[in-house]
A and B are shown apart, each in its own frame.
Chain A
Amino acid sequence: VAPDRGVFAFSETLAGDTLNRLPTNCRADTCAHTNTSGQFSVQSACVNLTSPTNSSQTTRILCWIMTGPKNMVSRTKHIKETWAKRCHIVLYMSSVRTDFPTVKLNVSEGREHLYWKTIRAFEYIYKEHLDNADWFLKADDDTYVIVENLLYMLSNLDPEKPLFLGRRFQPFIRQGYMSGGAGYVLSKEALRRFMKGFATGACTHFSSIEDMALGKCMETMKVEPVDTRDVKARQTFHPCPPELHLARQFQKNPWYLDYEYYPPIQGPGCCSDFAVSFHYIYAVQLYALEYLAYHLRPYGYKYRFLSRENKYFNGTTKQLVLEKDTQLPVEAGNPAE
């Protein structure tokens, strides 16, 4: 894996510490920035991920954030200050065009119009940006995303396959659907099929429940849901803030656990070290998560799960492959082949 340019060479076989010392101030915001043509440039010691189909290309992601006029200052502004800049392309979808900048979609604001907003947003992206990215993330304006972890996950997958990733929920749709708040990702082929579905009438606006309705269209168009849990069966996309998952707060709302497609785990086993998203994250928590993930660290600490030693994802949509000595919970209701 060769860096574009930069002072330090990052190598997958980096083992000997003393020679290949990475700068301790490697910051994600120096890693990924989009210039006007949407090219990803790598800097210094940050990861340069290649997609499996074309090793000379990097995995490019377009992030679009579902927002509206009344949230721009209280929420969206802070997203722009934190994680959004790590996407190759970021678009803020609203009903109003502004210099934020926001894209004006021909929709009204409000819960009943969410699925229309989603459809229009993907239409816009399909029209303007299909060739500028390989993967398309939808996030809410209260979602926090760790883009590097998402890119790492995606680098094992082929964007020309019809794939769809997120926090898998189970009711209503047989193959499951992805929680809207936790953020979900469509591959390039999945986006094509989504558009085709609406063009042919195979998919319709049959409900305003955006995530469930989109999930139905995915199922109709034979887009495969991906098991986004890591090799320890820990989730990466989260529909709630970390506190709720870690501190076992669902006792109060046990119905929520019924939505889970995979066996729900509360407490420290809930959440992957390389988590991708959390939901219901507002300004203060957004910055707090940013600080915890990218800044605050324990000096000299040997992480239990080291990114280079273990393969983190299996890169399949099928049943989890178990490591020999891993104790994993018994899966009830495995996804059908």
Chain B
Amino acid sequence: MKSKIGARVGSRRPIKMWSEGGSFVKGVALGGVFYLLLSLLGSFSPNAKSGSEDLHQHHHVQAQSNDNLKQLSESQTQELKDQVRVYCVIMVQPKILVYWAAAVGTWSKHCDKAVFYTSESSKALEAVDLQERDGWARLCKALKHAYENAGDLRWFFVAQPMTFAIIENLKYLLLTKDPSEPFYMGNALKSGELEYVAYESGIVLSYEALKRFVGVLDDKNKCPIRVNRLWKLSEDKQLAMCLKYTGVFAENGEDAHGMGLFNGKSLDALIKESMKNNPKNVVEGCCSDFAVTFNGMTPNQMQVMMYGVYRLRPYGHDFHDLLMFDPPEGSDND
């Protein structure tokens, strides 16, 4: 009898489980399906962090491949060119006048609009005088000013004085991204649970991201401008926190090989590292062909970069990119 029962129980067990524990199993199955769906959708839209904090990972932003660009018509590419224009927010101070002057005379000429924001005015160079000592408050004010004076520009690039940027490569990265989506990218780092874009390698914000930032700015709970010294974070982390409240998260800018485009160190420093880490492949292991920024560049090195990036090349190595960006008018070092 026992064995009979045993056998019967054995054969019925799965059916029994299904009918009795059925709702549980169904619940798990359904939940699993929804979870899969959400994460799939999430991986297509760049700002999808609608999932929980624990699913948090870097989104890796890359430039559009040439194949996709091939499909576009003349007017479409012109539209893209217009959309991808950049407003450069360059944070300076009179005490580092040489760096300020270097930025004016070199890479910033390639911005569609380059505005210098200073802590105090200087007779030598033009800037928006924020009259602000505090670094974080300066950044807040500068970003707010940029938002209010954007005109029809939709992308914002925040740089420090020792940063050298190649705006064409920034545009290439942003080319088919919609600025009415919140993008916040650069060299994305992690500090504890907070992911933020490092200041020194340049911060990129879409119009939507900047709009949200300005919206939450000076909310005492989320994004105060005046922060108690005890609780003070570095400016880039502070920015990340504010943006996080608005649902905007840091993304890492990379090339098609996954190599970072935003460098917090100088070219020489990166080459030195690469000589140690990739002695047989120093150059390709160092840095991307489409790098956007380098940091810690002296004014003289910036002149060398202008020449090295925009002029020096081996005869016969010409490229046929799908968009053409003209050199700035009246410039002699590019």
Chain B residues with CB under 8 Å of A242's CB are: 304, 307-308, 312
A322 within 8 A of B: no
Q: Does A174 contact B (CB under 8 A)?
A: no
The answer to whether the Cβ of B323 comes within 8 Å of any Cβ in the partner chain is: yes
B307 in contact with A300 (CB, 8 Å): no
A301 touches B325 (CB 8 A): yes
What's the least CB distance linking A16 to chain B, in Å? 9
CB-based contact B320/A22 at 8 Å: yes
Which residues of B in the span 296-319 have a Cβ within 8 Å of any Cβ on A? 299-301, 303-319
Q: Which residues of A contact B307 (CB under 8 A)?
A: 242, 246, 268, 271
Q: In the docked arrangement, what's the CA distance between A307 and B286, Å?
A: 28
In the complex, the answer to whether B315 meets A293 with C-beta atoms within 8 Å is no
Q: How far is the CA of A311 from the CA of B321 in the complex (A)?
A: 23
Contact present for B323 and A148 (CB under 8 Å): no
Q: List 24 A-B contacts (CB under 8 A).
A: A18-B320, A21-B320, A22-B320, A47-B316, A81-B280, A267-B333, A269-B332, A271-B307, A284-B275, A287-B271, A287-B286, A288-B267, A291-B286, A292-B308, A293-B312, A298-B166, A299-B171, A300-B322, A300-B325, A302-B324, A302-B327, A303-B311, A306-B318, A312-B315
Q: Is A296's CB under 8 angstroms from B327's CB? A: no
Q: Nearest B residue to A247 by beta-carbon distance?
A: B300
- Selecting from B119-127, B136-144, B240-248, B287-295, the interface stretch reads B287-295
B282 proximal to A (CB < 8 A): yes
- Complex Cα distance, B301 from A245, in Å, reads 12
Q: Is B268 an interface residue (CB 8 A)?
A: yes
Q: How many Å from the CB of B35 to the closest CB on chain A?
A: 39
Chain A positions 121 through 158: 1 when the CB is less than 8 Å from some CB of chain B, otherwise 0: 00000000000000000000000001111011000000
Whether A294 touches B317, Cβ cut-off 8 Å, given contacts A300-B168, A302-B324, is yes
Known contacts A243-B303, A291-B267; A296/B308 CB under 8 A: yes
A46 to chain B, nearest CB (A): 6
Chain B residues whose CB sits within 8 angstroms of the CB of A324 once the complex forms = none
In the complex formed, the residue of A with least CB distance to B287 is: A291
The interface size of chain A toward B, counting residues with CB under 8 Å, comes to 59
Within 8 A of B (CB), among A75-92: 81-82
Q: How far is the CA of A304 from the CA of B289 in the complex (A)?
A: 20
Residues of B within 8 A of A294 (CB): 283, 314, 317
Choice from A24, A148, A267 contacting B316 with Cβ under 8 Å:
A148
Decide yes or no whether A273 CB sits under 8 A from chain B. yes
A271→B172 CA distance, assembly (Å): 28
Instruction: Determine whether the beta carbon of A287 is less than 8 Å from that of B283.
Output: yes
Q: Do B275 and A283 touch across chains, with their CB atoms under 8 A apart?
A: yes
Residue pair A292, B327 in contact (C-beta under 8 Å): no
Residue of A at shortest CB range from B102?
A247
CA A10 to CA B320, docked complex, whole Å: 13
Which residues of A lie under 8 Å from residue B289 when comparing CB positions?
295-297
- The complex places the Cα of A42 from the Cα of B274 at a distance, in Å, of 30
Q: Give the chain A neighbours of B272 by CB distance below 8 A.
A: 284
Given known contacts A81-B280, A148-B317, A300-B325, what 4 new A-B pairs fall within 8 Å (CB)? A287-B271, A287-B286, A292-B305, A299-B325
Question: What are the residues of chain A within 8 A of B315 when measuring CB–CB?
Answer: 47, 148-149, 151-152, 274, 307, 312
B residues near A, CB below 8 A? 63, 66, 166, 168-169, 171-172, 267-268, 271-272, 274-275, 280, 282-284, 286-291, 299-301, 303-327, 332-334
- The answer for the CA separation of A152 and B267 in the assembled complex, in Å, is 29
- Chain A residues in the interface with B (C-beta under 8 A): 10, 14, 17-18, 20-22, 24, 26, 28, 31, 46-47, 81-82, 146-149, 151-152, 242-243, 246-247, 249, 267-269, 271, 273-275, 283-285, 287-308, 312
Closest-CB distance, A249 to chain B (whole angstroms): 8
* B172 with A290: CB separation less than 8 A: no
Q: A297-B309, A298-B325 are in contact. Are A28 and B317 (CB under 8 A)?
A: yes
Q: Which residues of B sit under 8 angstroms from A10, Cβ to Cβ?
A: 316
4 A-B pairs with least C-beta separation = A292-B308, A47-B316, A298-B168, A148-B314
Q: Which of chain B's residues have a CB closer than 8 A to the CB of A243? A: 300-301, 303-304
Measured between beta carbons, the chain A residues less than 8 angstroms from B325 are 298-302
CA distance A146 to B311 in the complex (A): 13
A209 to B327: give the CA distance in the assembly, Å: 44
CA distance A149 to B316 in the complex (A): 9
Contacts of B267 in A (CB 8 A): 288, 291-292
Q: Which of B283, B304, B326 contacts A246 (CB 8 A)?
A: B304
**B271 touching A291 by the CB < 8 A rule?**
yes
Residue in contact with B283 in the complex, picked from A21, A24, A267, A291, CB distance below 8 Å: A291
Whole-angstrom distance between the Cβ of B288 and the nearest chain A Cβ: 8
| Bound: A290/B334 CA distance, A | 18
B169: nearest chain-A partner, CB-CB? A299
A195 vs B146: C-alpha distance when bound (angstroms): 69
User: If A247-B300, A287-B282, A299-B290 touch, does A146 touch B314 (CB 8 Å cutoff)?
Assistant: yes
Which residues of the partner chain B approach A303 to less than 8 Å between Cβ atoms?
310-311, 313, 327
Alpha-carbon gap, A285 to B268, bound state (A): 7
- Chain B residues, CB < 8 A from A146: 312, 314
Distance in Å from the Cβ of A251 to the closest Cβ of chain B? 13
Residue of A nearest to B311 (CB): A273
Closest Cβ–Cβ distance, residue B277 to chain A (whole Å): 13
Nearest CB of A to B301, in Å:
7
Q: Which of B274, B299, B300, B334 contacts A287 (CB 8 A)?
A: B274
